[in-house]
Protein backbone atom coordinates (compact mmCIF):
# COMPACT_ATOMS: atom_id res chain seq x y z
CA UNK A 1 0.00 0.00 0.00
CA UNK A 2 1.22 3.46 -0.88
CA UNK A 3 1.77 5.82 2.03
CA UNK A 4 1.74 9.56 1.39
CA UNK A 5 2.37 12.48 3.72
CA UNK A 6 0.01 15.42 3.25
CA UNK A 7 0.52 18.71 5.09
CA UNK A 8 -2.14 21.23 6.04
CA UNK A 9 -0.61 24.70 5.67
CA UNK A 10 -2.08 28.16 6.26
CA UNK A 11 -2.48 31.12 8.59
CA UNK A 12 -3.84 30.56 12.09
CA UNK A 13 -7.58 29.85 12.46
CA UNK A 14 -8.25 29.09 8.78
CA UNK A 15 -9.85 25.73 9.59
CA UNK A 16 -7.00 23.28 8.94
CA UNK A 17 -7.80 21.13 11.99
CA UNK A 18 -11.54 21.25 11.25
CA UNK A 19 -10.93 20.12 7.65
CA UNK A 20 -8.88 17.15 8.89
CA UNK A 21 -11.58 16.31 11.45
CA UNK A 22 -14.27 16.42 8.75
CA UNK A 23 -12.20 14.32 6.32
CA UNK A 24 -10.91 11.68 8.77
CA UNK A 25 -13.74 11.40 11.30
CA UNK A 26 -16.70 13.08 9.50
CA UNK A 27 -17.12 15.46 12.43
CA UNK A 28 -17.09 19.21 12.99
CA UNK A 29 -16.71 21.02 16.29
CA UNK A 30 -17.65 24.67 16.88
CA UNK A 31 -14.99 24.74 19.61
CA UNK A 32 -11.81 26.41 18.38
CA UNK A 33 -8.67 24.45 19.17
CA UNK A 34 -5.25 25.92 18.60
CA UNK A 35 -2.84 23.38 17.16
CA UNK A 36 0.40 23.33 19.12
CA UNK A 37 3.25 22.10 16.94
CA UNK A 38 1.81 19.42 14.68
CA UNK A 39 -1.11 17.02 14.93
CA UNK A 40 -0.92 13.81 12.90
CA UNK A 41 -3.90 11.79 11.65
CA UNK A 42 -4.29 9.10 9.05
CA UNK A 43 -6.90 7.86 6.64
CA UNK A 44 -6.85 5.25 3.90
CA UNK A 45 -8.49 6.26 0.64
CA UNK A 46 -9.00 4.36 -2.59
CA UNK A 47 -7.92 6.31 -5.66
CA UNK A 48 -8.01 4.80 -9.14
CA UNK A 49 -8.41 1.34 -7.58
CA UNK A 50 -5.36 1.79 -5.38
CA UNK A 51 -5.38 2.11 -1.59
CA UNK A 52 -3.35 5.05 -0.32
CA UNK A 53 -2.61 5.60 3.34
CA UNK A 54 -2.69 9.36 3.93
CA UNK A 55 -0.60 10.58 6.84
CA UNK A 56 -2.07 14.03 7.50
CA UNK A 57 0.20 16.56 9.18
CA UNK A 58 -1.88 19.42 10.56
CA UNK A 59 0.70 22.17 11.13
CA UNK A 60 0.01 24.99 13.55
CA UNK A 61 -1.03 28.17 11.76
CA UNK A 62 1.42 30.89 10.98
CA UNK A 63 0.90 34.28 12.59
CA UNK A 64 3.11 37.20 13.56
CA UNK A 65 4.52 35.31 16.54
CA UNK A 66 5.07 31.87 15.07
CA UNK A 67 6.53 30.86 11.76
CA UNK A 68 5.69 27.41 10.42
CA UNK A 69 8.61 25.06 11.05
CA UNK A 70 9.58 24.18 7.52
CA UNK A 71 11.22 20.96 8.77
CA UNK A 72 7.69 19.59 9.35
CA UNK A 73 7.20 19.66 5.57
CA UNK A 74 10.05 17.25 4.73
CA UNK A 75 8.84 14.15 2.95
CA UNK A 76 5.45 15.63 2.04
CA UNK A 77 3.94 14.36 -1.21
CA UNK A 78 1.51 17.27 -1.33
CA UNK A 79 -0.28 19.84 0.76
CA UNK A 80 -3.49 21.77 1.18
CA UNK A 81 -2.95 25.52 1.40
CA UNK A 82 -5.87 26.68 3.54
CA UNK A 83 -7.38 30.18 3.39
CA UNK A 84 -10.24 31.57 5.50
CA UNK A 85 -12.58 33.24 3.01
CA UNK A 86 -13.83 35.60 5.73
CA UNK A 87 -10.31 36.99 6.27
CA UNK A 88 -8.72 38.38 3.11
CA UNK A 89 -5.27 38.66 4.74
CA UNK A 90 -5.11 34.83 4.95
CA UNK A 91 -4.95 34.75 1.12
CA UNK A 92 -1.83 36.96 1.13
CA UNK A 93 -0.37 34.74 3.88
CA UNK A 94 -1.09 31.70 1.66
CA UNK A 95 0.84 33.21 -1.27
CA UNK A 96 3.85 33.78 1.00
CA UNK A 97 3.58 30.31 2.55
CA UNK A 98 3.38 28.66 -0.89
CA UNK A 99 6.70 30.25 -1.87
CA UNK A 100 8.30 29.17 1.44
CA UNK A 101 7.01 25.59 1.05
CA UNK A 102 8.29 25.37 -2.53
CA UNK A 103 11.69 26.75 -1.47
CA UNK A 104 11.81 24.12 1.29
CA UNK A 105 10.59 20.91 -0.40
CA UNK A 106 10.44 21.78 -4.10
CA UNK A 107 7.41 21.56 -6.34
CA UNK A 108 4.83 19.07 -5.09
CA UNK A 109 1.09 18.99 -5.80
CA UNK A 110 -1.07 21.32 -3.73
CA UNK A 111 -4.55 22.76 -3.74
CA UNK A 112 -5.64 26.16 -2.47
CA UNK A 113 -8.62 25.69 -0.16
CA UNK A 114 -11.04 28.58 0.34
CA UNK A 115 -12.57 27.41 3.59
CA UNK A 116 -15.63 28.58 5.55
CA UNK A 117 -17.87 28.67 2.46
CA UNK A 118 -20.84 28.31 4.82
CA UNK A 119 -20.16 31.93 5.91
CA UNK A 120 -20.51 33.55 2.46
CA UNK A 121 -22.29 36.60 3.92
CA UNK A 122 -19.02 37.38 5.75
CA UNK A 123 -16.83 36.60 2.72
CA UNK A 124 -13.94 39.03 2.06
CA UNK A 125 -12.42 37.35 -1.00
CA UNK A 126 -14.17 38.20 -4.28
CA UNK A 127 -14.46 36.37 -7.61
CA UNK A 128 -11.83 38.61 -9.25
CA UNK A 129 -9.26 37.58 -6.63
CA UNK A 130 -10.26 33.91 -6.96
CA UNK A 131 -9.89 34.13 -10.76
CA UNK A 132 -6.41 35.66 -10.34
CA UNK A 133 -5.39 32.59 -8.33
CA UNK A 134 -6.84 30.28 -11.00
CA UNK A 135 -4.87 32.26 -13.62
CA UNK A 136 -1.69 31.21 -11.78
CA UNK A 137 -2.59 27.65 -12.72
CA UNK A 138 -3.57 26.73 -9.16
CA UNK A 139 -6.44 24.43 -8.35
CA UNK A 140 -8.87 26.28 -6.08
CA UNK A 141 -11.56 24.51 -4.06
CA UNK A 142 -14.33 26.08 -1.99
CA UNK A 143 -14.90 24.11 1.19
CA UNK A 144 -16.76 24.16 4.45
CA UNK A 145 -15.46 21.97 7.25
CA UNK A 146 -18.77 22.69 9.00
CA UNK A 147 -21.09 21.37 6.25
CA UNK A 148 -18.58 19.06 4.56
CA UNK A 149 -18.86 20.89 1.22
CA UNK A 150 -15.85 20.16 -1.01
CA UNK A 151 -13.76 18.52 1.73
CA UNK A 152 -13.73 14.94 0.42
CA UNK A 153 -13.34 16.19 -3.18
CA UNK A 154 -10.32 18.34 -2.25
CA UNK A 155 -8.45 15.38 -0.79
CA UNK A 156 -9.47 13.20 -3.78
CA UNK A 157 -8.16 15.77 -6.28
CA UNK A 158 -4.91 16.12 -4.34
CA UNK A 159 -4.56 12.33 -4.19
CA UNK A 160 -5.02 12.09 -7.97
CA UNK A 161 -2.37 14.78 -8.53
CA UNK A 162 0.03 12.94 -6.20
CA UNK A 163 -0.55 9.66 -8.05
CA UNK A 164 0.14 11.39 -11.38
CA UNK A 165 3.42 12.68 -9.87
CA UNK A 166 4.23 9.21 -8.50
CA UNK A 167 4.16 7.54 -11.90
Contact 16, 154 (CB under 8 A): no
pLDDT above 60 (res 84)? yes
pLDDT above 90 (res 48)? no
Contact 52, 2 (CB under 8 A): yes
Question: CB atoms < 10 A from the CB of 9, how many?
Answer: 27
pLDDT (mean) for 23-36: 77
pTM assigned to the model: 0.92
pLDDT above 60 (res 46)? yes
Give the model's pLDDT for residue 22: 94
**Spatial distance between the Cα atoms of 151 and 12, rounded to a whole number of angstroms:** 19
Give the model's pLDDT for residue 68: 61
**Spatial distance between the Cα atoms of 56 and 58, rounded to a whole number of angstroms:** 6
Q: Which of 86-90, 101-105, 107-111 has the lowest mean pLDDT?
A: 101-105
pLDDT (mean) for 109-119: 97
Question: What phi, psi does 155 have (nearest 5°)?
Answer: -65, -35
Q: How far is CA 34 from CA 13, 20, 67, in A?
A: 8, 14, 14
SS3 58: strand
pLDDT (mean) for 106-118: 97
| Tens digits of residue pLDDT in 5-28 | 999 999 999 999 999 999 999 888
Which comes out higher in pLDDT, residue 79 or 61?
Answer: 79
**Spatial distance between the Cα atoms of 74 and 88, rounded to a whole number of angstroms:** 28
Domains of the chain plus CATH, in order, are: 1-163 (3.40.50.300)
Give the model's pLDDT for residue 93: 93
Amino acid sequence: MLQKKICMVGAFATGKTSLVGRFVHSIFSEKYQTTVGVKIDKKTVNIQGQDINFILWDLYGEDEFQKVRMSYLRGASGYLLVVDGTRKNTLEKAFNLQIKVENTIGTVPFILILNKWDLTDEWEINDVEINEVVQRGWIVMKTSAKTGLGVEESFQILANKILENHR
